[in-house]
Amino acid sequence: MYNELDYKEREISDAKSDLSQINAMLELIKNNELACEIHMCGLKIGLCNNSKVIPAIEYHKNEIIKYLNNEPNEWV
C-alpha cells in the first residue's frame, strides 16, 4: 500500500514523464510532413496543419511546469 509520500513521488514522476513526451511532440510536430492525429473517445481525425495544435500543447506543458513548481495549475 502506498503512503502519501509515495503517491506524491509517483505523481511527480508522472508529471516529468508527461513533460518529456510533450517536448518530443513539440519537436515532431514542427515537421508538417509527419501526420498529426487527434484521438478522443475512440474517434480520430487527421490535421492538415500540425502547427494549429501547438498552442494547446504549449498550454498543457506550462500547466505541468506550474505543478512541478508547486503553483496553482490544471494538470491532471
pTM: 0.83
Residue 44 and residue 72: Cα distance in Å, rounded?
A: 31
Burial class (CB in 10 A: 0-12, 13-18, 19+), 33: exposed
1-57 pLDDT, tens digit per residue, is 567 778 889 999 999 999 999 999 999 998 888 888 899 999 999 988 999 999 999
